[in-house]
A and B are shown apart, each in its own frame.
Chain A
Amino acid sequence: MQRSIDEINNKIKDGSVVVFTAEEIIDVVKAKGVKRAAQEVDVVTTGTFSPMCSSGAFLNLKQPREKIKLGGGWISLNGVPAYAGLAAADIYIGATAIQHNDPRNDNGKPGKFRYGGAHVIEDLVTHKKVQLSAGAYGTDCYPNKKREDWIDLADTNDAFLFNPRNCYQNYNVAVNLSDETIYTYMGKLKPKLGNANYCSAGQLSPLLNDPYFRTIGIGTRIFLCGTEGYIAWAGTQHNPDIPRLDNGTPRSAAGTAALVGNLKDMHPEWLRAVSFTGYGVSLSVAVGIPIPILDEEMMAYVSVTDADLKAPVVDYSRFYPYGEGDPKLAEVSYAELKSGQIEINGQKVPTGCFSSYVNAQRVALTLKAQIDQGEFFLTQPVSLLPGPADKKEK
């Protein structure tokens, strides 16, 4: 059985397309088998809603009457510095940037990181005004040297989210073997294996449903924060050459995707700033990727369940920061993680997550409805994300 993107789009147009979410498809395949399910189902939708620090937005600001050249100068929004190393009116506000006077972790206690770049982006998407302060050196064509103003999204010519890395294909489960509480990008980790934190939508996670990147690549249209977005490139740290299980999924962090989408069309419901005590600010975005069922092989991939997906348990007190000790304390399945408790060295450890499964489900269902209603069409990627050098690697 073979199916092309064109055939799928024609079915979306005439309303006959059959779509399931990556969660719903599990029971379909159980009942009908891979072969029949592949014949009957055209598209499977995925979803995720997780914090990712490698996030930010490009803004092009409308010029005041007396023009200012921000490039080579400086700018802050609500006291959060943005990058001004581009042209006169282009800036990049990164999710993790923090206010000039934030005490960080320097007060002898973990910082709270109340407000940062991600909060500025969330405020912009909520159509709030933000306070702009900027300085420039002044030129004959851009004489203005100082700008103090309040702006919102309507005061930009262009605003697009550009996240260099999103949708990690799998990720570590973080624990703490030391005697003291530590504060990490995987949250507050209590001493002596007090808790274990993970961060993936598991069976709904986009790249875990196309483990070898047979359908996902540059130009893939996606659901991004309530509007359409695109995969722009392989994400930073994309590494397909990771040991894999028999079902093709990587046994630790592997593929990633760089995403782009119009900030002006995004909805605050699908984009949230987060503050990690003792670590910093980050941004959670909603991403849904449609997987075209090109053949039976794709149907087999999208039918993976949480029980079939495994993640490594890593110590964030010694191994992650210093490279000391055992690199992998255990391997656990997402089904075990989602039960609320895993076992490490015979000890029962409660689990928590940062990725919202409820929101991942809502993303996958929303994308499914958009395809069903003929509002979202699939694209043929211009170039697929790089897969493993040896696809058969185990």
Chain B
Amino acid sequence: MLKTKVVLSFPPSSVEEPITYHLIKDFGIMVNILRASISPGKKGRMVVELSGEESIRSQALNYLESKGVEIDELAAEIRYLENRCASCTACVPVCPTGALDVDRNNWKVSFFEDKCVVCLSCVDACPYRAVEIGPE
């Protein structure tokens, strides 16, 4: 079971669609609405916490994107999941500060939180989903 906090920005066209209803009913996702500002005809914004199995959460996020909803993960910090990290080094050249770096003696990649400026470059670059955006 995974939990993420995301900001959903709705285009005016989908403000009137029962999107949270579909998330719960069609995908079985748990939706916890933390903040919302929605008015008909205007762009809506909602801060929600979504929890569910990865395969289901993925279908729910796919559904939102297909409705034109923009999804921004709340970025306050980068979470490095050591047990998922394969030490492949794909993130090393894209990290501007050396927060993700490899020890070339033993080829282990490590994350130095104090050096991280939360630029998010590594999130797209890591194929093993070992870096996640952490909530506020």
Contacts and interface: CB of A to CB of B under 8 A. Distances in A.
Interface in B83-136: 86-94, 102, 104, 106-108, 124-125, 127-129
B87 A358 contact: yes
Nearest to B54: A115
Contacts of A99: 55, 58-59, 62
B63 interface: yes
Nearest to B87: A358
Contacts of A163: none
B86 A358 contact: yes
Interface residues of B, number: 30
Contacts of B93: 195-196, 340, 350-352
A114 B58 contact: yes
A353 B90 contact: yes
Interface in A40-76: 49, 51
A105 to B, nearest CB: 11
A288 to B, nearest CB: 16
Given A352-B92, A356-B86, A358-B107, A51 B127 contact: yes
24 contacts: A78-B56, A79-B59, A99-B58, A99-B62, A101-B62, A114-B58, A115-B54, A187-B90, A188-B125, A190-B94, A195-B94, A197-B90, A272-B128, A274-B127, A275-B127, A277-B125, A350-B93, A352-B89, A352-B91, A352-B93, A353-B89, A357-B89, A358-B86, A358-B107
Contact of A187 (B86, B102, B104, B127): B127
Q: Which 4 A-B pairs have the closest CB atoms?
A: A350-B93, A115-B58, A274-B127, A78-B55
B108 to A, nearest CB: 6
Interface residues of A, number: 47
B98 to A, nearest CB: 11
B82 interface: no
Interface string B41-63: 00000000000001111110111
Contacts of B56: 78
A275 B90 CA distance: 13
Nearest to A350: B93
Interface string A331-350: 00000001110000000001
A112 B4 CA distance: 16
Interface of A is mostly: mixed
Interface string A110-132: 10101100011001000000110
A119 B55 contact: yes
A102 B62 contact: yes
Contacts of B89: 351-353, 357
Contacts of A107: 65
A377 interface: no
A389 B41 CA distance: 70
A99 B93 CA distance: 31
Contacts of B125: 187-188, 277, 352
B90 A352 contact: yes
B37 interface: no
Given A187-B90, A340-B102, 16 more contacts: A99-B59, A101-B63, A110-B124, A112-B61, A114-B62, A115-B54, A123-B55, A196-B93, A272-B128, A274-B129, A277-B125, A340-B92, A340-B104, A352-B92, A357-B87, A358-B108
A277 B86 contact: no
B126 to A, nearest CB: 9
A359 interface: yes
A361 B107 contact: yes
Nearest to B61: A114
Contacts of B61: 112, 114
Given A340-B104, A354-B88, A356-B87, A79 B55 contact: yes
Interface string A121-153: 001000000110000000000000000000000
Interface string A248-280: 000000000000000000000000101111100
